[in-house]
């Protein structure tokens, strides 16, 4: 059924696909306009880190046997290595001269109580060094029926956690510091620096979990109203406000809403417009395990607005990234704006860092190479399965076409995609095929390879105007 659901939409999608090397969103252009006043602490420079989807796993739950290997073969996550990766990342962040850290969900493999307890202990290492941590849950973290231990060919259910447990375990990582909390979710507002508000937004649907965890995200109307109220409060107080959440709030490539809707919050186009119109200019997201930055410009007859979705990859998926963000005053004024605004912390400089070494036996292979091979091997199995089950290809054809899918996803996870002519010709060859399923695959590949501005890994964003500039990093 899913195969026909997808193919039925081929004609619709084809009508909006341009057969050229770049397929851009109409509302993802860079605009040079001055939005309504938005200020931040005058003269301050604020530096913080962002990481996502650490998927921490308590190794005491089992790391060998038929059942555990079957789990690993169904995914692309370096679960065995998750603790070693986290340790290395914390060690690096302790040297990064940061004030606080944002963690945008999927803290654990599958919401295991023991995993949450151990992960929180590692976060305390950061806080003990004077670095505040703020967290939001991901779709794996709460009420997860997939929380199990492994022994041989057997899995056994282990305790997961409730929303109240999450707030208790991570009390000192956002909830204790909150100046406002949503009574209907785990969303909260903090002000780590006077004049800078961080809005933690809980987009997960763990209350609906029964036999399987819900992957997609959604805001109830009550929570959405609360979020918009916090943005309005911050704006009324002339404060900067930045959000973070698990699910994407803007589509990162043209076919993501069609092929991977669960990685975006429900009704994302409306939600992102509401956020932008309310005055929130930047949201840090995760979930997809990719490195990508996308801008949505809202063009209306009233004052135009914009929002950036800064998606950060996973600690357990190549390229194993995290981000360092520096908010700083602009060195140039914007005409017709008050001098106070021009001196505000209005530039966001985003730099990507990567974990390159871990204390784990990688068989003598450098960790970056090890992680890349792990991703490619995992994606190859997943791609073949999807091509057979969802696109109706026979196993031989799936095996032949899967490497093209792997190459596109690998580039998408890494960010700043830059396909060569040979790759583009391969993609266009799919679009010329008469088989609707292969044509749809080609459209998906073209969408993945397309990477309109801004840059994905290293860039500077002017939060006053929406202008974004690539950042040269040695």
pLDDT at residue number 109: 99
Please give the model's pTM, rounded to 2 decimal places.
Answer: 0.90
From the CB of residue 454, how many other CB atoms can be counted at a distance below 10 Å? 24
Enumerate helices (H) and strands (E) in the chain, giving the number of each. 14, 16
* Tokens (6 digits) for 72: 């690993």
For 403, phi and psi rounded to 5 degrees? -60, -30
Residue with tokens 């939060």: 463
Residue 25 confidence (pLDDT): 32
pLDDT of residue 445: 98
For every one of its 474 residues, what pLDDT tens digit does the chain have, with 9 covering 90 and above? 444 344 334 323 333 333 333 333 333 333 322 233 333 444 578 999 999 999 999 999 999 999 999 999 888 899 999 999 999 999 999 999 999 999 999 999 999 999 999 999 999 999 999 999 999 999 999 999 999 999 999 999 999 999 999 999 999 999 999 999 999 999 999 999 999 999 999 999 999 999 999 999 999 999 999 999 999 999 999 999 999 999 999 999 999 999 999 999 999 999 999 999 999 999 999 999 999 999 999 987 677 799 999 999 999 999 999 999 999 987 766 654 544 444 456 899 999 999 999 999 999 999 999 999 999 999 999 999 999 999 999 999 999 999 999 999 999 999 999 999 999 999 999 999 999 999 999 999 999 999 999 999 999 999 999 999 998 776
Percent of the chain as helix, strand, coil, to the nearest 5: 35, 20, 45
- In the chain the domains, ranked by start, together with CATH numbers, are 2-25+366-449 (no CATH), 46-359+456-470 (3.60.21.10)
Question: Sign of the C-alpha dihedral, residues 154, 158, 162, 168?
Answer: negative
Cα separation of the two ends of the chain = 49
Please give the C-alpha separations between residue 373 and each of 20, 365, 448, in angstroms, as whole numbers.
31, 10, 20
d(CA 418, CA 292): 13
What torsion, rounded to 10 degrees, do the Cα atoms 196, 123, 182, 146 define? Answer: 140
211 by Cβ neighbours in 10 Å (0-12 / 13-18 / 19+) ranks as exposed
């Amino acid at each position: 059924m899913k195969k026909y659901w997808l193919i039925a939409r081929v004609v619709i999608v084809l009508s909006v696909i341009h057969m050229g090397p770049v397929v851009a969103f109409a509302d993802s252009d860079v605009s040079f306009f001055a939005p309504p006043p938005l200020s931040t602490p005058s003269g301050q420079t604020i530096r913080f880190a962002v990481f996502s989807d650490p998927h921490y796993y308590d190794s005491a739950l089992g790391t060998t046997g038929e059942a555990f290997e079957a789990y690993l073969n169904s995914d692309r996550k370096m679960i065995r290595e998750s603790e070693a990766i986290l340790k290395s990342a914390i060690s690096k962040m302790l040297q990064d001269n940061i004030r606080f850290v944002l963690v945008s969900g999927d803290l654990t493999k599958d919401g295991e109580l023991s995993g949450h307890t151990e992960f929180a202990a590692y976060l305390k290492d950061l806080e003990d060094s004077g670095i505040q941590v703020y967290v939001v849950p991901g779709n794996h973290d709460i009420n997860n029926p997939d929380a199990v231990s492994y022994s041989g060919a057997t899995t056994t259910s282990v305790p997961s956690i409730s929303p109240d447990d999450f707030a208790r375990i991570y009390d000192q990582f956002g909830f204790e510091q909150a100046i406002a909390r949503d009574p209907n979710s785990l969303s909260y507002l903090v002000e780590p620096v006077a004049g800078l508000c961080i809005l933690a937004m809980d987009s997960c649907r763990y209350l609906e979990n029964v036999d399987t965890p819900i992957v997609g995200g959604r805001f109830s109307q009550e929570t959405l109203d609360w979020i918009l109220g916090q943005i309005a409060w911050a704006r009324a107080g002339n404060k900067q406000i930045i959000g973070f959440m698990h699910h994407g709030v803007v589509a990162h490539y043209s076919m993501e809403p069609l092929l991977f809707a669960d990685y975006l919050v429900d009704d994302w186009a409306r939600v992102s417009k509401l956020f932008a119109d309310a005055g929130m200019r930047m949201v840090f997201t995760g979930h997809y395990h990719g490195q990508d930055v996308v801008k949505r410009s809202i063009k209306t007859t009233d004052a135009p607005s914009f929002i950036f979705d800064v998606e950060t990859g996973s600690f357990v998926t190549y390229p194993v990234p995290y981000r360092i963000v520096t908010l700083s005053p602009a060195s140039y004024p914007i005409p017709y704006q008050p001098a106070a605004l021009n001196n505000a912390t209005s530039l966001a400089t985003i730099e990507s860092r990567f974990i390159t070494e871990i204390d784990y036996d990688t068989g003598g292979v450098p960790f970056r190479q090890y992680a890349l091979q792990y991703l490619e091997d995992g994606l190859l199995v997943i791609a073949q399965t999807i091509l057979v089950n969802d696109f109706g290809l026979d196993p031989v054809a799936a095996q032949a076409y899967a490497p093209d899918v792997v190459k596109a996803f690998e580039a998408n996870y890494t960010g700043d995609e830059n396909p060569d002519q040979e790759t583009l010709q391969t993609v266009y060859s799919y679009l010329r095929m008469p088989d609707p399923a292969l044509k749809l695959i080609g459209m998906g590949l073209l969408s993945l390879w397309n990477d309109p501005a801004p840059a994905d890994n290293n860039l500077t964003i002017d939060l006053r105007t929406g202008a974004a500039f690539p950042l040269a990093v040695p």
